[in-house]
Amino acid sequence: WLMPVPEASSAALPVHVGAGKGMWNSLRRWATLPVLRTPGARLLMCLRFFMSLAFHLFQVILMPSLHRRFAFTPADHGLLMAFIGFVYAMSQGFVAKPLIRMCAGSDSDNTNLLCACMVLLAFTRLPVIIATDIWVVYGAFGPMLVALGTINTLIASAASSLASSSSETGGLYGVLEACESIAGMLGPVLSGLLVRAEQS
């Protein structure tokens, strides 16, 4: 009931946009795409925004914390980033799709899997930020990245199923990317304010 499913009426929603090829008309056509008015699309936009915001808040706080706990050097940081990139790629390529197929219910949604990944994503961040053993940090990053890859695959799958045409698919993906970019600007600012408030 939580994950969006295609709505038969979404393609029939009227779009009152004038014809034209100018930039303003292009923006109006993009902003009034019928798919953006569906509850499913709004849910995906909220998920993308708040997940990205949480990621950037966590990332900005994590790096100084690793340096303080483990005297991280640039080489250590590079090794960690390589591990994160590898595990994330493997999770999307070999774990997410089988998990989605295995957990799909009779109502063809993946709500339970999404909620489980959200919980796993939240709880694995705690040992990463407080552990005093670097191997605990690496061990916690593993399931965290699997959960993140699965969530992103679920969002991409839901977005493609919501849109009724290729233009709507592109428009929805563009809005999701915009949500992520806005969160990417706000996250470091908010985390900086939090760090300053803690130090004062």
CA pair distance 115, 150, nearest whole angstrom: 11
CA pair distance 38, 42, nearest whole angstrom: 7
* Residue 171 confidence (pLDDT): 78
Q: How many CB atoms lie within 10 A of CB 113?
A: 21
* Residue 22 confidence (pLDDT): 60
* Residue 13 confidence (pLDDT): 44
Q: Is the pLDDT of residue 113 over 90?
A: no
Read off the tokens for 64: 């100084």
Written as one letter, the residue type at 54 is A
Read off the tokens for 63: 């790096």
More confidently predicted of 111 and 64: 64
- Region of 71 (left: φ > 0; alpha: ψ -120 to 50; beta: rest) is left
pTM equals 0.74
pLDDT bin (cut points 50, 70, 90) of residue 101 is confident
> Model confidence over 127-148: pLDDT tens digits?
999 999 999 999 999 999 999 9
CA pair distance 169, 6, nearest whole angstrom: 12
CA pair distance 75, 83, nearest whole angstrom: 12
DSSP-derived letter for residue 164 is S
